Amino acid sequence: MSIKIKAGTLNDFFSSAKETAREIDQGKKLTRKNTVWVDSKDLMLLLKPERTNLVKYLRREKKVVFSKLMSAMGRSPVSLNNDLKILSKYDLVHVSKESNPGHGVNKVIESSLGDERIEFRVEI
């Protein structure tokens, strides 16, 4: 199974949903669709080398504390937070906070993709 990331507008998303609804109405057997619709201006942001490297790293590590991720990627907190913000906007990563007994709270980052293949498609 793969995850398809498509550039498109809200109207494109609703067109896709209507097509799926038509198939349901016609009694067709549906196959699961793992499609994430991305605003076209964000698509190029997702493809930046730093972000793709981050996704690859998180797929290997599965779950990592922010400070370790920052060190492993050689990134500043601000740049890493910016990357995590855009990746979490499209549910490619999950950011949460976990208690670190006696030491406050850790920011924890996990890949939302598992071993799923990511496929980018752009329709113009």
Confidence band of 124 (pLDDT split at 50, 70, 90):
low
Residue 15's CB is within 10 A of a number of other CB atoms, namely 12
Q: What is the pLDDT of residue 78?
A: 93
Does residue 47 contact residue 90 with C-beta atoms inside 8 Å?
no
Confidence band of 121 (pLDDT split at 50, 70, 90):
low
Does residue 69 contact residue 109 with C-beta atoms inside 8 Å?
yes
Round to whole Å and give the CA distance between 10 and 73: 34
Structure tokens at 10: 């809200």
Average pLDDT over residues 90-110: 83
pTM: 0.63
Residue 1 has pLDDT above 60, yes or no: no
Going by C-alpha positions, the residue among 5, 122, 118, 102 that lies closest to residue 54 is: 118
Tell me the residue range of the domain where 106 lies: 2-122
Q: What is the number of domains present in the chain?
A: 1
What is the CATH classification number for the domain harbouring 42?
A: 1.10.10.10
Chain segment 45-99, per-residue pLDDT in tens: 777 888 888 888 888 887 888 889 888 989 899 988 888 888 888 778 888 888 8
Residue 3 has pLDDT above 60, yes or no: no
Residue 56's CB is within 10 A of a number of other CB atoms, namely 11
Which alpha helices (H) appear in the chain, and where do they start and end? Answer: 10-25, 40-46, 49-61, 66-73, 77-89
Structure tokens at 68: 């370790």
Chain segment 4-40, per-residue pLDDT in tens: 666 666 676 677 778 777 877 888 877 666 666 666 6
